């Protein structure tokens, strides 16, 4: 699970080391300053009695001038055989969608983007031959579009990305990207 600030060719926030600022038995908060000068705070909390982790990514502009930013969440899933991984969601247009992961693989690094009415309404699920279901849920108002890619195929990982709405942040203003990830065993 990674976070980026910026687009494909200038991602910051993914590799910079974070400092743990708070933790307890079920949660941890880490803070980092990205290479482009934003403060990125990530809080992860395991729900009590549930196989769900809630993640809040908060990006703050500590500078004295307005700056444009776009948070992006990157989740890498290894669900078993990549080609047999299944994706499902209801899109913002109210239609059921089940993108073919083999098509995602065939598009190499470009993968498949889901925007406007084709984007998930607020969650999507992933299953594979390992017998697990992963559901990623998010606030639809915070997410501009989503992206799936699987490259190189030999890694066996499906990359799942949420791209937040691009925002201009004034001095000391923040934006958040909230999501939850639930992992369940299926028969």
Residue 151: which CATH number? 2.70.98.10
Q: How far apart are CA 69 and CA 51, in angstroms?
A: 32
What is the tens place of the pLDDT at every residue in 107-156?
A: 988 999 999 999 999 999 999 999 999 999 999 999 999 999 998 888 89
Beta bridge partners, 33, equal 39
What is the tens place of the pLDDT at every residue in 74-85?
A: 999 999 999 999
What pLDDT sits at residue 117? 96
Longest dimension (CA), the chain: 54
| Contacts for 78 with CB less than 8 Å, ≥ 6 apart | 156, 157, 158
| Contacts for 37 with CB less than 8 Å, ≥ 6 apart | 62, 63
Backbone angles phi, psi at 9, to 5 degrees: -105, 0
Q: How far apart are CA 185 and CA 28, in angstroms?
A: 25
pLDDT at 28 over 70: yes
Q: Contact 109/149 with Cβ under 8 angstroms?
A: yes
Beta bridge partners, 134, equal 126, 183
Q: How far apart are CA 5 and CA 185, in angstroms?
A: 33
What pLDDT sits at residue 7? 59
What pLDDT sits at residue 151? 85
User: How many domains does the structure of the chain reveal?
Assistant: 1
Query: Which tokens is 162 given?
Result: 């949420």
Domain residues for the domain of 147 are 2-185
What pLDDT sits at residue 153? 87
Averaged over 8-14, what is the pLDDT? 61
Task: Give the model's confidence band at 17: pLDDT under 50 very low, under 70 low, under 90 confident, else very high.
Answer: confident
């Amino acid at each position: 699970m990674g976070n980026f600030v910026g687009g494909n060719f200038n991602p910051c926030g993914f590799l910079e080391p974070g400092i743990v600022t708070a933790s307890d038995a079920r949660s941890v908060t880490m803070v980092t300053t990205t290479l482009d000068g934003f403060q990125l705070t990530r809080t992860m909390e395991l729900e009590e009695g549930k196989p769900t982790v809630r993640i809040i990514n908060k990006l703050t502009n500590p500078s004295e001038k307005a700056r444009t930013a776009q948070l992006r969440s990157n989740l890498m899933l290894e669900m078993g055989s990549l080609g047999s991984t299944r994706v499902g969601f209801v899109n913002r247009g109210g239609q059921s969608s089940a993108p073919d992961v083999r098509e995602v693989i065939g598009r190499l690094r470009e993968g498949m983007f889901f925007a406007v009415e084709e984007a998930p309404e607020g969650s999507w699920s992933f299953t594979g031959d390992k017998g697990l279901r992963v559901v990623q849920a998010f606030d639809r108002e915070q997410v501009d579009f989503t992206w799936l890619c699987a490259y190189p195929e030999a890694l066996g990982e499906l990359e799942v990305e949420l791209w937040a709405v691009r925002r201009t942040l004034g001095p000391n203003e923040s934006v958040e990207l909230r999501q939850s990830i639930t992992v369940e065993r299926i028969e």
